[in-house]
Amino acid sequence: MSDAELTTPFRQRAGSAMKDEFLQEALTIATTKFIGLRREAFAGFPEGEALRDRARAIKEATLQHLDRHLETLIANVERLGGHVHFATTPAEARSIVVDIARRTGARMAVKAKSMATEEIHLNEALEAAGVTPVETDLGEYIIQLAHERPSHIIAPAIHKTKGQVAELFTRELKRPAEPDPEALTRIARAELREKFLQADLGITGANFAVADTGTVVLVTNEGNGRMVTSLPRVHVAVMGVEKVVPSFTDLMVFLAILAKSATGQKLSVYTSLVQGPRRAGELEGPEEFHLVLLDGGRIAQIGGPLREALSCLRCGACLNVCPVYRQIGGHAYGYTYPGPIGILLTAMLEGAPAVRDLAHASSLCGACVDACPVRIDIPRMLIELRREVDDEKLAPWTERVAFALLTKLLQNPRLYRFAAKAGRVLQRPFARDGRISRLPLPFGEWTRTRDLPPVASRTFQERWASDKDLRA
């Protein structure tokens, strides 16, 4: 998303998204399908609930000794012949990767899908350094050609129709492309096969890293993760510090619930355990392996209010069930990570001012908690973010005055009763046939699309006080 787009208020971006008919249809179909797939997967998996609790407990236990686990991971990666780097900021992370690319003479880098590299805006930095990044996940490949950003954590091109993809391929690849997913996939396979074989550098994220053995774990369906970590001379994995798990035994718990939550599959097609650079006798595997550990705001939350969000597995389940995401899609959020968890991650990475509006992009319905494989209590943290926004006085003064007034009213029964009487009087011009269809702002925000009941001619408490037969 360009800076120009971000200066449009969130409410307006949301409004535009809801007027986009293609997007609305795509969102309805995709989210409904994902919801059904996830439901089916867990319905046939009675151990699922207990595993979710265990997974949550593992993430929490790991956080409580994160420094120790990372030290173990680092030692093991180095023992395997890999190199570990430390990036506090996105800028540092970018410069580490660009330095590796320069030093190894890379001209083209193939990338497996990595939200962490999206988060740090790596592609632009690579291009500026003369290294061509090529996205190889089909969805990422599509949006790269379209110069867009992903609109869903696991299905980046969900907002595009097959017709739009065909047009895109025809235009950018200069070859005729039919609006048929099979045909389009074949084109992508052929185009990208060459890139895999020629690339100097492979860049990935990491779904997990197993501390005990220095193993980086990549979960994919297409096989690009395997290609990217096997064929180029150099492999760089960029990983948030919170992705580390202690052992393979822990890993199995997460693998058992991750794909089910994301796509309803029992396991994704490829789970690749990558263990350093290639060994003697191996035909494939990189000569150099680099792990870039990324802070980017995560470390401060270990002791912060968004700590629980560090358990996120990036499965996208919360997006699919969120009534807001389902209406507006991913781009309207305006940052790398959309949906319920995206609001928390944006606060983590960019600070409270960035979520002044996004913190309210939720009806607090809690469907996300139900869907989250590790039961992250997103609504609780959204309320916490709203508090931070209030404390830092980021809300407009009109709102702060309104809520200060409301507090006074609710603590003073006489004021409250007076307000009810005042409401009755003020509503008279607007109430008709027992309903109110039009009100001046700010209440007009309601009445534009919905009627309002009028304040009752006698409140319940007034009736209780005066109607003897009600009390009898």
For other proteins, the closer of residues 323 and 429 by Cβ is: 323
Please give the structure tokens belonging to residue 129: 């350094």
**How many residues contact other proteins, by CB under 8 A?**
167
- Looking only at residues 93 through 112 of this chain, which bind other proteins when binding is defined by CB under 8 A? 95-96
Least distance from C-beta 291 to other proteins, angstroms?
A: 12
User: DSSP letters along 188-244, please?
Assistant: HHHHHHHHHHH-SEEEE--SEEETTTTEEEEEESSSHHHHHHHSSSEEEEEEEGGGE
Least distance from C-beta 88 to other proteins, angstroms?
A: 4
Please give the structure tokens belonging to residue 110: 């193939």
Decide if residue 279 touches other proteins (CB under 8 A).
Answer: yes
Decide if residue 460 touches other proteins (CB under 8 A).
Answer: yes
Decide if residue 394 touches other proteins (CB under 8 A).
Answer: no
111, 292, 362, 373: which one binds other proteins (CB under 8 A): 362
For other proteins, the closer of residues 119 and 286 by Cβ is: 286
Please give the structure tokens belonging to residue 458: 């006698």
100, 158, 318, 378: which one binds other proteins (CB under 8 A): 158
User: DSSP letters along 415-442, please?
Assistant: HHHHHHHHHHHHHTTTEETTEE----TT
Decide if residue 226 touches other proteins (CB under 8 A).
Answer: yes
Decide if residue 280 touches other proteins (CB under 8 A).
Answer: yes
Least distance from C-beta 87 to other proteins, angstroms?
A: 7
**Do the Cβ atoms of 197 and 134 come closer than 8 Å?**
no
Please give the structure tokens belonging to residue 72: 């173990």
Decide if residue 409 touches other proteins (CB under 8 A).
Answer: yes
6, 269, 401, 422: which one binds other proteins (CB under 8 A): 269
Q: Which residue has the tokens 């996120």?
A: 312
Q: Which residue has the tokens 């096969």?
A: 193
Decide if residue 365 touches other proteins (CB under 8 A).
Answer: yes
Q: Cβ-count burial of 233 within 10 angstroms (0-12 exposed, 13-18 middle, 19+ buried)? A: middle
Least distance from C-beta 427 to other proteins, angstroms?
A: 11
Q: Cβ-count burial of 227 within 10 angstroms (0-12 exposed, 13-18 middle, 19+ buried)? A: buried
- Looking only at residues 300 through 339 of this chain, which bind other proteins when binding is defined by CB under 8 A? 300, 302-304, 307, 323-324, 327-328
**E strands in 284-347:** 288-294
Decide if residue 283 touches other proteins (CB under 8 A).
Answer: yes
CA distances from 170 to 128, 193, 194 (A): 26, 18, 18
- What track of x and - describes contact with other proteins for positions 179 through 208 (by CB under 8 A)? --xx-xx--xx--xx--xx-----------
End-to-end CA distance of the chain: 64
- Looking only at residues 424 through 443 of this chain, which bind other proteins when binding is defined by CB under 8 A? 435, 437, 442-443
Least distance from C-beta 18 to other proteins, angstroms?
A: 6
Give the distance from CA 75 to its chain's centroid: 31
Report which residue type is found at 97: V
- What track of x and - describes contact with other proteins for positions 49 through 68 (by CB under 8 A)? ----xx-xxx-xxxxxxxx-
In b/e form, how buried is each residue of 427-463, taking b as 16+ CB within 10 angstroms?
A: eeebbeeeebeebeeeeeeebeeeebebbeeebeeee
- What track of x and - describes contact with other proteins for positions 131 through 150 (by CB under 8 A)? -----xxxx--x--------
Torsion over CA of 120, 124, 129 and 131, rounded to 10 degrees? 100
Please give the structure tokens belonging to residue 336: 């790398």
Q: Which of 76-84, 116-124, 126-134, 340-348 is the region at the interface with other proteins (rule: CB under 8 A)?
A: 76-84
Least distance from C-beta 121 to other proteins, angstroms?
A: 18
41, 77, 87, 125: which one binds other proteins (CB under 8 A): 87
Cα separation, 135 vs 155, in Å, equals: 14
For other proteins, the closer of residues 170 and 247 by Cβ is: 247
Please give the structure tokens belonging to residue 41: 């997967």
For other proteins, the closer of residues 133 and 276 by Cβ is: 276
Number of C-alpha atoms within 13 angstroms, CB side, residue 296? 24
- Looking only at residues 228 through 257 of this chain, which bind other proteins when binding is defined by CB under 8 A? 229-231, 241, 246-253, 255-256
Least distance from C-beta 442 to other proteins, angstroms?
A: 6
Least distance from C-beta 176 to other proteins, angstroms?
A: 17
- What track of x and - describes contact with other proteins for positions 10 through 29 (by CB under 8 A)? -x--xx--x-------x--x
For other proteins, the closer of residues 121 and 162 by Cβ is: 162
6, 102, 456, 466: which one binds other proteins (CB under 8 A): 456
